[in-house]
A and B are shown apart, each in its own frame.
Chain A
């Protein structure tokens, strides 16, 4: 019996697999984009870091 490179099952499920693959790729892109936005805006800074950052800024202003 000759070996077929793809089973009939693969042909039937091609569209479905492609859709799931593209959805997962889009999901990764969304999460990556969201992470970039959150990190660049400083949303993930700890409260202590944010306080010390603002304290440093205030000290800098005082000395000027």
Chain B
């Protein structure tokens, strides 16, 4: 008898490589990679292309590690939410212990190798981001306060700062502006999701604003945070990080975003149920485009600046 036949039921459901990869939240990782890449490329410093590639890779692995630790801790509430029930841990494909081990190992690995590849300021920021997302957000704020998304959003806002630090070795006004843009974008993005996911957060007992303060209050908060975000996004256009190209993109996107937030605020649950939350869903989709295009415009501004310097050199 081989040891493989000792517990056949467990072995029937061997986790595949894709299940372990899913622990790293690849969809969230795309946002991390993109914003970190913009931070890195927009920074006024030369970085070797292969070192830049390694920096982005280690930042992505660090982000993935925090995702695995989040899935380890939140397996109980993930299991009761329709959106998250198929994740590897609640579905039983990967054990919680495996998720914890992978998360811890990749956290240490990513921080150390980012430090070795670039500098220890960037590595320190990555370590703090993982700590903030796992301990401050996942373990503490998420189940305690309806402001969980607001404060916890900082974790998702750090990648451009890490990318910037990887290139320059420090923090600057521009990298703080990129941080603030993602930080203020997170609440309306997630509250729009909470509005149309309806029962998910209620069933899980997560104190989302929709659960603790009701849907009209959530709609009001979406509008307030969108106004704050628009003010910041437009003001960024007048700083050294912005420029005419960024400002043009920001004006169009923020008018659209403010219009969407205004419509969400004007609606009540009866209207939303009638069209199956069409406005909330389109606002959520727009929020994804909003962030990608803002960061794309920041990257384009940096490219234009570089091209201008090169042109002046001829």
Q: Name A residues whose Cβ lies closer than 8 Å to a Cβ of B.
A: 7-9, 12-13, 15-16, 18-20, 30, 33-34, 37, 41
Residues of A with C-beta under 8 A to B57: 30
Q: Do B51 and A37 touch across chains, with their CB atoms under 8 A apart? A: yes
In the A-B complex, the 3 residue pairs with the closest CB atoms: A19-B17, A9-B4, A16-B17
A13 to chain B, nearest CB (A): 6
B3 to chain A, nearest CB (A): 9
B13 to chain A, nearest CB (A): 9
Q: Do A12 and B50 touch across chains, with their CB atoms under 8 A apart? A: no
Partner pick for B48 among A9, A12, A16, A37, CB 8 A cutoff? A37
Question: Which residues of B, 1-60, contact A by the 8 Å Cβ criterion?
Answer: 2, 4, 11, 14-18, 20-21, 48, 50-51, 54, 57
How many interface residues does chain B have, given as a range? 10 to 19
Q: Known interface pairs A9-B11, A12-B11. Does A34 touch B17 (Cβ–Cβ under 8 Å)? A: no
18 contacts across the A-B interface (CB closer than 8 A) = A7-B4, A8-B4, A9-B4, A9-B11, A9-B14, A12-B11, A15-B18, A16-B14, A16-B17, A19-B16, A19-B18, A19-B20, A30-B57, A33-B54, A34-B50, A34-B116, A37-B48, A41-B48
Judged by a CB distance under 8 angstroms, whether B117 is at the interface is yes
Partner pick for A34 among B11, B16, B20, B54, CB 8 A cutoff? B54
Residues of A with C-beta under 8 A to B4: 7-9
Residues of B with C-beta under 8 A to A34: 50-51, 54, 116-117
Residues of B with C-beta under 8 A to A15: 16-18
Q: Known interface pairs A7-B2, A7-B4. Does A13 touch B14 (Cβ–Cβ under 8 Å)? A: yes
Residues of A with C-beta under 8 A to B48: 37, 41
Question: Which residues of B, 84-119, contact A by the 8 Å Cβ criterion?
Answer: 116-117
Residue of B nearest to A33 (CB): B50
Residues of B with C-beta under 8 A to A13: 14
Q: How far is the CA of A19 from the CA of B17 in the complex (A)?
A: 6
Residues of A with C-beta under 8 A to B50: 33-34, 37
Q: Known interface pairs A9-B11, A34-B117. Does A16 touch B51 (Cβ–Cβ under 8 Å)? A: no
Residues of A with C-beta under 8 A to B117: 34
B29 to chain A, nearest CB (A): 15
Q: How far is the CA of A7 from the CA of B16 in the complex (A)?
A: 17
Residue of B nearest to A13 (CB): B14
Q: Do B54 and A30 touch across chains, with their CB atoms under 8 A apart? A: yes
Residue of B nearest to A20 (CB): B17
Residues of A with C-beta under 8 A to B116: 34
